[in-house]
Amino acid sequence: MTAVHDDTVGRDALPASRPRGEDLDTALWNSAVTADAFTDEAVYRYHMAVMEQYRVYVESADRVSARRNTANAFFLSGNTALLTLLGAATTVETHRIPVAVIVCVLAAALCQCLIWGIQARSYRVLSSAKWAVVAELERRLPALAYSSAEWVTALPSRRYRPLTRIERWIPALFAALHLGMGIAVLLSG
């Protein structure tokens, strides 16, 4: 069993049978696939087909990660704009702003946070599944670059923090900020 490449996976994703201090060389090279596996023409074509599928699938997984980052940037910008709008409302004489407008802005902000959280979870699940498939494809290749070696080099570092741990809390943090700011605006009027 190999570890899955995705920042949703932590130290627990490493196989229990492999010590954490394992060197990169051992983690990188798949001992089940050697140069001898490429001597027969049919076996060689098979491995080339697996390699091509692997290449296409890694690109696909990478595109999902890029879409995930774009979606997060969109929601971060939208929530920042709505927070700014609510913040600006505290500097204006609040009695000039109808309560219904403040409530609508607050509701839109909270809905956006809910949708962001749901979408972030969906991307995490999809990304984990894609990288699990990459790990399985790597089992048929000479190197285990994504599924094993990358984690052996990243995880021993105490500085490594998976972004999905942060990503899980940001929509909830913004929802709390929106709620607090909305209540402050309503109470100041």
Flag whether pLDDT at 162 surpasses 80: no
On whether residue 17 sits in a domain, the answer given is no
On whether residue 8 sits in a domain, the answer given is no
Closest CA to 54 of 150, 167, 110, 130: 130
Burial (CB count <10 Å: 0-12, 13-18, 19+), residue 19 = exposed
On whether residue 13 sits in a domain, the answer given is no
Q: What was the pLDDT predicted at 91?
A: 75
Q: What was the pLDDT predicted at 19?
A: 40
Higher pLDDT, residue 121 or 40: 121
- Reported as a single tens digit per residue, the pLDDT across 68-115 is 999 999 999 999 998 888 888 777 665 677 888 888 989 999 999 999
User: What integer best gives the mean pLDDT of the chain?
Assistant: 79
pTM above 0.75, yes or no: no
On whether residue 72 sits in a domain, the answer given is yes
On whether residue 76 sits in a domain, the answer given is yes
Closest CA to 27 of 55, 48, 9, 5: 5
On whether residue 60 sits in a domain, the answer given is yes
Task: Label each residue of 52-111 as H, E or C.
Answer: HHHHHHHHHHHHHHHHHHHHHHHHHHHHHHHHHHHHHHHHCCHHHCCHHHHHHHHHHHHH
In this structure, what token pair is assigned to residue 83?
């927070």
Considering only 19-33, 52-66, 90-104, which range has the smallest mean pLDDT?
Answer: 19-33
Q: What was the pLDDT predicted at 110?
A: 95
User: Which residue range(s) make up the domain with 91?
Assistant: 22-188
Number of domains into which the chain is organized: 1
In this structure, what token pair is assigned to residue 136?
């399985």
